Structure 1
Amino acid sequence: MMQDQVSLEKRCRGRPQVRSDDETRQVIIEAANDQFKQAGYASASISAIARAAGVSTKTLYRLFPAKADLFSELISSKINRYFLGMDPSSLAGLAPREGLERLLLAYGRLTLSEETIMITRLVLSESDRFPEIASVFYEQAIIRTSKVMEDWLSGQISLGAVKPVNVAMAIGMLRGMMTMEPQRTVMLGKVAGIPDDQIVERARACADIFLDGCSKR
């Protein structure tokens, strides 16, 4: 009887802790990030991702039915991390300059991060063969971040803090001013990366240039 009890306790102690689906998703996403970075999209192995995450391929496919779903969730998780708190309610009480600086800083840190530049390179190099990754990138990265910024600018126009402008065009210009030149410099291999203090300085300068041109006089 005592032996049976000891054996039962050992088996219980040896069993791995059951993870929730949300936790398992996150572990799989991290493993996928490494695999996409090493192998690209086409050569990324679902089996290798599952092994690295410590799950079966059956579990992986249950949570992510296709490789494109996994890629989409990877991009979404990165955007959420950088844009956490960048919803309209969190910016509502800020002065226009401070609110815009925060938005641009979040966008700059996202776009100029090593991981995002890796993903951008992957999309540009493989989207001809896999148009689904271009669609995922456009919807998750470009449309989602643009909407957050456009909603903020529309709110400022409604409050009378900024004169009426073509919101989509203005945000497109802001995005380009904030990241296009430094992103291109990194992607062409001219510099290894953009230091955070330069991103902060650029966000402040872009906000100044935009608001000095659009503020009501």
Structure 2
Amino acid sequence: MRESCLTDRRSRRKEVRREAIIDIAKRAFLENGFADTSMSAIAADCGGSKTTLWSHFPSKEDLFLAIVDKLVGHFSDALDEALLVGGGTAAALRRFGRVFLAKILSEDARALKRMIAAEGHRFPDLVKAFYERGPARCRARLARYMADEMAAGRLQQGDPEIAARQFLSLCQAGCFADVIWHRGDTYCSTPEEDVDMAVEGFLRIWGKTE
């Protein structure tokens, strides 16, 4: 029993240490970029040795992907919850759209997007891994929901992947585009308005007609 408790405490300390490293590294990557962030600098910021850092993350790429997984993890759970709660198709899409837009408009998400765009040509494997863990996973989750709604007769029959792509694009057509292109602090619409318009437009195309 004593050995088991000691093992549990060590595991908890190790996990706490790992999370602290991820938080420190996230700030470094988002502020300085992937290429200009070194494992030595991260180890120094963490107050430990490179050996300790490498015991958690064998490479800078592994550390970066752990950051992506953490950023995406809670987001994926929130998207699942948005689609599982009842209220009908329009209500589910509205919840999903608001969670989605809030995430991609967050400071961390915008900084990560800028970093990927700036350094992607130098690190294509990282771009691919980020895409698979983030945007592709989000779209795939929505496509599964679209397929279920089509099978239940609540949406018109078609390709659920295309339906998911179109809905996500509609959500990004307003203030998100303004933010990406740095059009100042005044946006053409609010996130809530963008999602409402996206749901309305999407259902005009894919909504079930009598």
- State if a TM-score over 0.5 links the two structures: yes
> Could you say what secondary structure the match of 1:162 adopts?
coil
**1:210 corresponds to which residue?**
202
Aligned partners of 2:104 and 2:110 also within 8 Å: yes
Q: What one-letter code is carried by the residue in structure 2 that aligns with 1:132?
A: D
- The alignment partner of 2:118 has SS state of helix
Q: Structure 2 residue aligned with 1:161, among 137, 154, 158?
A: 154
Distance change >3 Å, CA 155–CA 20, structure 1 → 2? farther
Task: Give the unaligned 5+ runs of structure 2.
Answer: 1-9
| Paired position in structure 2 for 1:176 | 169
Structure 1's unaligned 5+ residue stretches are 1-16
Normalized against structure 2, the TM-score is what? 0.84
* Pairing partner for 2:30 from 30, 37, 49: 37
Matched, 1:20 2:10: no
Q: How far apart are the structure 2 equivalents of 1:136 and 1:97?
A: 32
- Give the ranges of 4+ consecutive aligned residues of structure 1 lying more than 4 Å apart after TM superposition: none
1:28-177 matches, within 5 Å, as 28-87=21-80, 91=84, 93-177=86-170
Are the structure 2 counterparts of residues 180 and 138 from structure 1 closer, same or farther at C-alpha, using a change threshold of 3 Å?
A: farther
Q: CA RMSD in A?
A: 2.6
Structure 1 residues 112 and 128 mapped into 2: Cα distance closer, same or farther (>3 Å)? same
Q: Is the 8 A contact 2:40 2:50 kept in 1?
A: yes
How many residue pairs get aligned? The number is 200
- Larger radius of gyration between Structure 1 and Structure 2: 1
Given that residues 82 and 109 in structure 1 are in contact (C-alpha distance below 8 angstroms), is that contact kept between their aligned partners in structure 2?
no
Contact 2:166 2:202 in 1 (8 A): no
Identical columns (%): 24
Q: Which has the bigger relative contact order, CA under 8 A and spacing at least 6? A: 1
Amino acid at match of 2:202: F
Please report the TM-score for the alignment, with normalisation by the length of structure 1: 0.81
